[in-house]
Amino acid sequence: MRLELKSGAVRLGPNQTLKVVDGAGSTVIALEGSVWITEENQPRDIVLQPGGRYRLRHVGVAIVNALGGDAAVSFS
């Protein structure tokens, strides 16, 4: 299955992962729950709490993962 989302919100179940390809410049916003973000070839990972935001900085793959429980993220 392939989903394309330019902007909008995605709900993730506990420990569910979302793969973002070439999302550089997009902003990830944690709407509910905590999320972990890692970008390809980057040594630093990001954890967002509800209301937190992070701008993806690198071309390639980024992984957004719900930490522990349900989470919801939006992209802009």
Strands of 13-60, DSSP E: 17-21, 27-32, 35-39, 46-48, 53-55
Q: With 80 as the cut, is the pLDDT of residue 8 above it?
A: no
Domain borders along the chain are 10-75
The answer to whether the beta carbons of residues 30 and 73 sit under 8 Å apart is yes
Domain 10-75 adopts which CATH fold?
Answer: Jelly Rolls (2.60.120)
Mean pLDDT value across residues 17-33: 92
What is the value of pTM for the model shown?
0.87
Dump pLDDT digits (tens) for 36-73: 999 998 999 999 999 999 999 988 999 999 998 999 99
Report the distance separating Cα 56 and Cα 38, nearest Å.
9
Concatenate the DSSP letters of all residues of 34-45 into one string.
-EEEEETT-S--
